[in-house]
Amino acid sequence: MPKLKSKSDQTKEEIASTFLFLLNACPLNEISIKDITRTCGVNRNTFYYHFGNVADLIEYVIKNNVDNLIAKHPPKINSLEDCFIAALNFARENKQAINHIYHSTNRAIFERHLWHVCEYSVNAYLNSVPPELLPISTPEEREIVKDFLKFECFGFVIDWINHDMPENVTEKIKILSNLYHF
């Protein structure tokens, strides 16, 4: 039986949802706490009860989205393609909001959580590949491959965002995954 959320938790979720709605509509620097509270139907004190400032709200929204994304993907990823797509889905779900955060002074918050998604995805992939298919013979080599794929995944997503998140990214991922033979 699912756990029921308290009224306070529901209000916090509603503030976060409202913020995400606004962030998909306009740039971060145009969203004030007054806009959030007015749209959400709560007062400023309620906002400050849950969040210290907008940066705390951004952190909460991104962390929740990352946690939900990870929960959707089992700790087994069968291909390098699935690994990259899992990381890209983090940005795809609220494309405009991610773009607004990425191009703001709060970019580091997004990058930190994207790094976490890439690390989770790569670990899930490497843990799913049969050892005989990996060209790895020592734990040090495994760590190097893990870091390389994590950097590649992170850089790929950042480059995709910098190029306005074109839809043809899935084709590029297929080509990239075919270039790797494990």
Please tell me the total number of residues recorded for the chain in this structure: 182
pLDDT per position as a tens digit, 68-78: 777 776 666 67
| Residue 26 domain boundaries | 7-179
pLDDT per position as a tens digit, 81-112: 776 776 677 677 778 888 899 999 999 998 99
Q: What is the CATH number of the domain that holds 66?
A: 1.10.357.10
User: Does the residue 15 lie in any domain?
Assistant: yes
Q: Which amino acid is at 70?
A: I
Phi first, then psi, for residue 4 (nearest 5°) are -80, 140
User: Does the residue 2 lie in any domain?
Assistant: no
User: Does the residue 61 lie in any domain?
Assistant: yes
In the chain, the number of structural domains is 1
Question: Rounded distance, CA 151 to CA 18, Å?
Answer: 33
DSSP one-letter string for 1-49? -PPPPPHHHHHHHHHHHHHHHHHHHS-GGG--HHHHHHHHT--HHHHHH
Q: Which two tokens stand for residue 141?
A: 């080599």
pTM (two decimals): 0.76
User: Does the residue 1 lie in any domain?
Assistant: no
From its phi and psi, is residue 41 left (phi > 0), alpha (psi between -120 and 50) or beta? left
Q: Is the pLDDT of residue 42 over 90?
A: yes
Q: Is the pLDDT of residue 118 over 90?
A: no
